[in-house]
């Protein structure tokens, strides 16, 4: 009788353990099926993700004139026209003359969380930095610092997202006569505010 009781007890413990193991396996399987969040999955209306814009010399010059910083076109501190292959540029030239023979190129901004940005020109990385801050859902700050070539000051921009289009508008300070301030504004214009950006899925950006 005692042997039968012990045998029944062992059988019960084995069955209980099997049930527990089965339940645990089911829980793991359910967990592994939960969707994961990738870098390309971002909320609608978020600035995070990849945006593309075609850079042209004409848009560059018009933007500098619109923001009242045309003097920066010939400044040695911010001669971004060289990127377009323009040689000997001068602020007193007409836009058509200044941009004669200029090339176009495409840039992609990959905005990552916490202020990190990768800026691609083609497949080449031209910026990989902690260089922006979001104050709210319409205020963007371009961060400057000692490591920058022209040491730009922090410059605020207003940004709007409509569907898959992102636009920036630089906020020029009321008192912006110093070289540092004007260089900072020029940097922000060139980096973000030449025209609208369009959300894309890049083949080489995660």
CA distances to 83, 154, 177, 178, 181 from 69, in Å:
18, 17, 10, 12, 11
Gap between the Cα atoms of 149 and 136, Å rounded: 28
Q: 121 forms bridges with which residues in the sheet?
A: 107, 124
Paired tokens of 68: 């009242």
User: For the residues of 135-161, what is the DSSP string, one character each?
Assistant: SSSSEEEE---TTSTT-PPPEEEEEEE
By the 8 A CB rule, do 152 and 184 touch?
A: yes
Question: For the chain, first and last CA: distance in Å?
Answer: 69
14 lies in some domain: no
Coil, helix or strand for 197?
Answer: strand
116 lies in some domain: yes
Paired tokens of 48: 């995070």
26 lies in some domain: no
Q: How far is CA 102 from the centre of its chain?
A: 26
The pLDDT of residue 141 is 94
31 lies in some domain: no
Gap between the Cα atoms of 128 and 105, Å rounded: 19
pTM for the whole thing?
Answer: 0.70
118 lies in some domain: yes
What range does the domain containing 192 cover?
A: 49-197
The pLDDT of residue 15 is 40
Total domains, the chain? 1
The CB-side HSE value for 178 (13 A sphere, CA atoms) comes to: 9
32 lies in some domain: no
146 lies in some domain: yes
Q: How far is CA 158 from the centre of its chain?
A: 15
9 lies in some domain: no
The pLDDT of residue 16 is 40
Q: What is the pLDDT along the chain (206 residues), one digit of tens a residue?
A: 434 333 443 443 434 444 343 333 333 233 223 222 333 444 556 999 999 999 998 899 899 999 998 877 766 444 677 778 765 545 445 566 778 888 889 999 999 999 999 999 888 898 899 989 999 989 999 987 544 444 457 899 999 999 999 999 999 988 888 888 888 898 899 999 999 999 998 666 65
């Amino acid at each position: 009788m005692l042997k039968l009781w012990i045998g029944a007890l062992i059988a019960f413990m084995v069955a209980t353990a099997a049930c527990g193991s089965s339940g645990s396996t089911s829980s793991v399987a359910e967990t592994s099926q939960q969707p994961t969040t990738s870098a390309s999955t971002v909320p609608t209306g978020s600035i995070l993700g990849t945006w593309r814009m075609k850079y042209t010399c004409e848009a560059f010059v018009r933007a500098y004139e619109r923001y009242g910083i045309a003097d920066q076109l010939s400044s040695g501190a911010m001669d971004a026209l060289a990127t377009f292959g323009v040689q000997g540029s001068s602020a007193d030239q007409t836009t058509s003359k200044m941009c004669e023979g200029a090339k176009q190129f495409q840039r992609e901004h990959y905005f990552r969380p916490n202020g990190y940005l990768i800026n691609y020109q083609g497949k080449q990385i031209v910026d990989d930095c902690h260089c922006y801050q979001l104050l709210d859902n319409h205020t963007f700050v371009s961060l400057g610092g000692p490591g920058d070539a022209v040491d730009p000051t922090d410059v605020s921009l207003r940004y709007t997202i409509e569907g898959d289009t992102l636009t920036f508008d630089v906020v020029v300070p009321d008192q912006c006569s110093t070289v540092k301030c004007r260089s900072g504004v020029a940097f922000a214009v060139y980096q973000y505010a030449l025209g609208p950006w369009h959300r894309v899925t890049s083949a080489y950006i995660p």
